[in-house]
Structure 1
Amino acid sequence: MDLTKQIIKHVLNSRFETVPKKAIERAKLSILDTFASAIGGSSDPIAHFARHLGELSGGKPECTVWVSGEKLPACLASLVNATTARSLDFDETYELCINGCHASAYDVPPALALAERDPSITGRELLSAVATAIDLHVRLARSVTANSINTGRDNMVAVWGATAVSTKLLRLDEEKTRNAFGIAYAHAAGEFQMYEEGAHTVSLQQGLRARSGLESALSAMVGFNGPREPFFGKYGFYRAFEPSYDVDLLTEKLGQDYVNTSISFKPWPACKCTHPAIDGLLQLREKHNFSGEDIVSIELGLNHLAESLVVQPRDQKWNPKDQVVARFSLPYVISVAAQHGRVAISDFRPEGLEDPAVRRIMAATKIEVDPEIDRTHGLHQNSPTTVSVKLRDGAEHFIRIDKPFGHPENPASFADGMRKLKACAEMSVLPFSDTQLELIGEFVEDLDKRPTLAPLFELLVGGK
């Protein structure tokens, strides 16, 4: 069997009964987390831009814009909801590879759009589709062995995760599914300059790929064909864009081991590269009972890839002017954690960026590449981090964090997801009642028992 056919068969053949229970349960948390991130991000300027774009584009009112409640065509609703879910960089991510990927916020919005468009889609169908799509998305992402920091190409594979979830929920046959994957190649894109400049496209590209995956599946459904070898053909993806790849990381135990279970939960709304430092600082703060005012200096050590993403350029990262830059600024988020004992959505508002107490700690923060960490963990952007804190009373405290809270070996529970949902709802552009949030959680937790998702979409609208 050729490799592309093997991938297509995996997408077609996965069923609720064949997907491991752990993968199904993790898919529930991925869905809940995507809702939480979108609700929390709904008041962010990026979310406002996304809704305005949807309003300008208009079209058939078939799918809900989460939180605000407008109705848009499925593809456009996917764009708006996925962009909003990434607006805070709070959505979960896969970190166990050279290039991480935010698979869930790409793949969940088109899945929900299709489930709203077609009420015959059951909760079990949705869960198996989401688990399968995220599994494939992660496998494609980890197969790329050249670092995007060096190539400038970022997560170009994302469109195929959204394509996979869409073909499954549209119930396409093998031929149309293969065509959809070929058509998706025409949509494959992703660039790293957005991180360098802190551009809004960090979030918008999430929506663009979610829309493109669904459009690819719909294009195949109506009769368009695409290249049959989008991955391994003479001019396929790997030859044309990512010649440094490991096919075993794509195909090993495909259909048996669902790697969506290795997605990392994000307890703090900042780049995952900053989480080991945040976790370490918060642990030291709690253990030794000091406050931000007690701190003389902070020193952090990490690998060169993480340093290039969340420490460079230094003039920008020590003086973030907007929330996008701040979310990718290790000196900023570690100073927030030190001063407030938390890192919350509100800390990235304009007044938070100018907090003089946080600015004082930032000025006293030193971050360097740790040679030993770089030697042993130098290939991944998400790096173990050392945290050293000096206090006014002369005390010095140290910790190293390799697997912060949310890491697959230090995992979050569904209850943690509910706490995140409730915290995010406090920042929503429209209010959600406690009862409404509990109902969302109960609906997602029992998705495998739901004959339709129709009742869910009204719950995802605030202000009622």
Structure 2
Amino acid sequence: MDVTTQLIKHVLNSSFETIPEKAIERAKLSILDTIACAIGGSNDPIAHFARRLGALSGGKPESTVWISGEKLPSSLAVLVNATVARALDFDDTYEICINGCHASAYDVPPALALAERDPSITGSELLSAVATAIDLHVRLARSVTTNAIDTGRDNMVAVWGATAVSTKLLRLEEDKTRNAFGIAYSHAAGEFQMYEEGAHTVALQQGLRARSGLESALSAMVGFNGPREPFFGKYGFYKAFEPDYDLDMLMDSLGSDYLNASISFKPWPSCRATHHGIDGLLQLRERHNFIGEDIVSIELGLNQRARSVVAQPRDRKWNPNDPVVARFSLPYVVSVAAERGSVAIGDFRAEALDDPAVRQIMAATMVEIDPEIDRTHGRDGNSPTTVKVKLKSGEQYFIRVDTPFGHPESPASLDDGMRKLKACAEMSMLPFSEKQLGLIGEFIADLDKRPSLAPLFELVVGGK
């Protein structure tokens, strides 16, 4: 059996009964986390742009735009919801590979849009589709062995995760599923320039690929065909774009080890590569009971690859004048953590970026390449980070963080997801009551027992 057929059969044949319990539970957290991030990001300018874009076309009212409550055709609702879920760069991510990927916020929005479009889809069916799609998405991402920092090709595989969740919930048979994967190849895209410039397309590209995955599945459903060998054909993805791939990373333990269980939860709304530094600074701050005004200097050490994303170019990362740039600025977020004891959504509002106390700490913060980390983890996009703090008292404290909270080795729970949901709701465009938030959490916690998803779509609309 060829590899593409194996992948398609994996998508078709996985079921709630065959997926490990750990993967099912992590799929619940992915759904809760994606909704939380969309609620938290709903008042960001990117979210407003996304809703305006969705409203331009209108059409059949199939699926809910979360928070605001408009009804749009499913593919447009997916575009808006996936973009808004990434607006803050707060959504979970797979970090145990060179490039990583934000699979949940690509794959959860089309899953929920289709479950609203078709009320016969059960909670257990949704969970199996989400776990399977994220597993495939991560496998494709980790099979790529070249770094996007070097090639400029970022996460081109994302469209196939959204395609997988869509074909599964549309209940397409094998031939149409194969066509959908072939059609999705024509939508595959991803570039790194958006990170270089801190552009809105960091979020919008997620919405575009999520919509493309759903539309690829719908195109196959109505009869379009696509290339039969989108991955390994003469001009398939791996030959045309990523010839240096690792087949074992794609296929190892397919069907038994669901990699969605290994994605990382984000406790802070910034690039995951900054979380090691935040975690380390906060540990030292709590352990040694100092505050921002006590600090003389902060020295951070990490590998070259991560440094190039979160500490270069220097003029922008030490003077972030835009929320997107600030989320990818290691000196900024560590200085916020030093001054305020946390990093929150409000710390990236335009008015917060000029806080004199944070700016003073940032000016005394250095980010250097740690030779040992670069030698042992030089290929990692999210690098272990050393944190050294010097105080006015003359004391110095040091820590190295390899696996910050949220990493698969330090995993989050649904309770952590609920705390994040409540924190995100404080920044929502429309208010959510404590009761409403609790009902969202309860619904998702028992998702495997839900005969329909219909009640959830009322709960994710604010202002009631």
Normalised by the size of structure 2, how large is the TM-score? Answer: 1.00
Q: Could you tell me how far apart the structure 2 residues matched to 1:105 and 1:446 are? A: 21
User: Aligned runs of 1:278-427 on 2, under 5 Å?
Assistant: 278-427=278-427
Alpha-carbon deviations, 1:216-237, whole Å to 9, x = none?
A: 0000000000000000000000
User: Aligned runs of 1:75-224 on 2, under 5 Å?
Assistant: 75-224=75-224
Match of 1:29 in 2: 29
Alpha-carbon deviations, 1:114-134, whole Å to 9, x = none?
A: 000000000000000000000
Match of 1:73 in 2: 73
Q: Could you tell me how far apart the structure 2 residues matched to 1:111 and 1:277 are? A: 34
Alpha-carbon deviations, 1:332-386, whole Å to 9, x = none?
A: 0000000000000000001110000000000000100000000001111100000
Structure 1 segments of 4+ aligned residues over 3 angstroms from their partners: none
SS in 2 for 1:451: coil
How far the C-alpha of 1:319 sits from its partner, in A, is 0.4
User: Aligned runs of 1:240-255 on 2, under 5 Å?
Assistant: 240-255=240-255
Match of 1:60 in 2: 60
Q: Could you tell me how far apart the structure 2 residues matched to 1:57 and 1:296 are? A: 54
Q: Give the aligned residue type for 1:158.
A: A
Q: Could you tell me how far apart the structure 2 residues matched to 1:128 and 1:134 are? A: 10
How far the C-alpha of 1:251 sits from its partner, in A, is 0.4
1:462 partnered with 2:462: yes
Q: Give the aligned residue type for 2:326.
A: A
SS in 2 for 1:4: helix
Q: Give the aligned residue type for 1:72.
A: L
Q: Percent identity?
A: 81
Match of 1:441 in 2: 441
Please list every run of 5 or more consecutive structure 2 residues that lacks an aligned counterpart in the other structure. none
Q: Could you tell me how far apart the structure 1 residues matched to 2:37 and 2:369 are? A: 31
Q: How many residues align?
A: 464
Q: Give the aligned residue type for 1:190.
A: G
Q: Could you tell me how far apart the structure 2 residues matched to 1:10 and 1:377 are? A: 32
User: Aligned runs of 1:30-49 on 2, under 5 Å?
Assistant: 30-49=30-49
How far the C-alpha of 1:68 sits from its partner, in A, is 0.3
Q: Give the aligned residue type for 2:195.
A: Y
How far the C-alpha of 1:244 sits from its partner, in A, is 1.1
Please list every run of 5 or more consecutive structure 1 residues that lacks an aligned counterpart in the other structure. none
SS in 1 for 2:97: coil
Alpha-carbon deviations, 1:25-75, whole Å to 9, x = none?
A: 000000000000000000100000000101112111110000000000000
Q: Could you tell me how far apart the structure 2 residues matched to 1:54 and 1:257 are? A: 37
Normalised by the size of structure 1, how large is the TM-score? Answer: 1.00
1:268 partnered with 2:268: yes
How far the C-alpha of 1:186 sits from its partner, in A, is 0.2
RMSD of aligned Cα (Å): 0.4
SS in 2 for 1:389: strand
Q: Could you tell me how far apart the structure 1 residues matched to 2:352 and 2:402 are? A: 28
SS in 1 for 2:189: coil
SS in 2 for 1:296: strand
SS in 2 for 1:387: strand
